[in-house]
């Protein structure tokens, strides 16, 4: 009788081990699939703002300043009338935020 119980217990343990191995394979396959999906799906950019997380990178800010200074220098070099120079410089400063948002905003 005890041999029979031992044999049945061994069969149950073998079946349980096969099921456990199948569950582990399925879990590993699911984790590999999730990792692949995580790598392939595009992530939204971090939208935090404030002192800890600047909205623009250093290169973008430098580009904005350099382009603005270059356009200002062109205005002052190519336009003869002083009033028109001041007016165009003022328009440049007022239009600059809109141009930056249109050109560099990351929302699509």
Spell out the domain ranges in the chain. Answer: 1-43, 58-104
Q: Residue 30: how many CB atoms within 10 A of its CB?
A: 10
Per-residue pLDDT tens over the stretch 33-90 = 999 988 888 877 666 655 666 677 888 889 999 999 999 999 999 999 999 999 999 9
Instruction: Compute CA 49 distance to the chain's CA centroid, rounded to the nearest angstrom.
Output: 14
Q: Which residues, in sequence order, are CB contacts of 56 under 8 Å at separation 6+?
A: 64, 104
pTM for this structure? Answer: 0.48
Answer whether 96's CB lies under 8 Å from 66's CB: no
Answer whether 55's CB lies under 8 Å from 49's CB: yes
Q: What is the CA radius of gyration of the chain?
A: 33
């Amino acid at each position: 009788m005890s041999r029979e119980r031992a044999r049945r217990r061994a069969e149950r343990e073998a079946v349980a081990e096969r099921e456990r191995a199948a569950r582990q394979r399925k879990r590993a396959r699911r984790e590999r699939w999730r990792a692949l999906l995580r790598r392939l799906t595009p992530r939204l950019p971090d939208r935090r703002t404030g002192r800890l997380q600047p909205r623009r990178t250093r290169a973008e800010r430098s580009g904005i300043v350099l382009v603005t200074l270059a356009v200002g220098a062109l205005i002052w070099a190519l336009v003869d009338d002083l009033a028109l120079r001041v007016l165009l410089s003022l328009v440049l400063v007022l239009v600059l935020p809109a141009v930056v948002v249109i050109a560099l905003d990351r929302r699509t």
